[in-house]
Amino acid sequence: MLKSKKNKQLWYTLVIIPLWVSYLVRAYAWKIVLGQEGILNNLLLSVGLIDKPLEIFLYSPYAVVLALTHIYTPWVLMSIYTSLEHIPRDILEASKDLGAGRWRTFFHIVLPLSLPGVIAGATFAFVLTMGDFLAPQLLGGTSSMMVSNVVYSLFGVANNWPLGSTIGIITLFVVLGILQLTHRLEKKTASF
């Protein structure tokens, strides 16, 4: 039991460590890793898998998805971890005593009881990603535009404030609708 608590604390610390680093530093780090002269290209060159640096890693939708996943994963994992911590251990022991295997216990007890944390984590990631315009701009270039980039460019470069405001308000209502839906879903799953 003591070893399991040590490992739990270690894993929790490893999840939290990325939050100690600034958002900008994490986004720029991906630029360094995925760039033409970056770590990934240099590794592939040194292994001999490629003859010249590839340009497909950086300024692509894949780079944006990878960076956003890295940046917002700690928020999701913290929500799931919290919901898993609140599952009573005696329920898991009762499941084992009644002959349920690991998979059956997971699908019939752990998953339903941890759904509020999963929903909260997914909501965190979705809402934070909807407002993120810096990572797509740094890593996606012009190839990947997100809603926040469109609003940013309409207010800044295009100087089309009415259209920017309209898109921003529509996005706000979509996010509020999704938040309301996830709130109802959390209430429904919390009643298990």
The CA-atom distances, in angstroms, between 164 and each of 68, 81, 161, 167, 168 are: 23, 38, 5, 5, 6
| Residue 149: predicted pLDDT | 82
Fold adopted by 55-190: MetI-like fold (1.10.3720)
120 within 8 A of 179, measured Cβ to Cβ: no
117 within 8 A of 82, measured Cβ to Cβ: yes
2, pLDDT greater than 60: no
Over residues 47-89, the pLDDT tens digits come to 888 888 888 888 888 888 888 998 899 889 999 988 888 888 8
Rounded CA gap, 141 and 164, in Å? 20
5-29 burial, b at 16+ Cβ within 10 Å, e below that, comes to eeeeeeeeeebeebeeeeeeeebee
Could you say which DSSP state residue 47 is in?
H
| Residue 173: predicted pLDDT | 92
The structural domains of the chain, with segments of one domain joined by +, span 55-190
The distance between the two most distant Cα atoms of the chain, rounded to a whole number of Å, is 67
1, pLDDT greater than 50: no
Q: Please report how many Cα atoms fall inside a 13 Å half-sphere around the Cα of residue 9, on the Cβ side.
A: 6
Sign of CA dihedral 43, 16, 115, 122: negative
Which residue, among 122, 174, 114, has the nearest Cα to 147 in the 3D structure? 174
Over residues 122-144, the pLDDT tens digits come to 988 988 888 888 888 888 877 66
Rounded CA gap, 184 and 192, in Å? 14
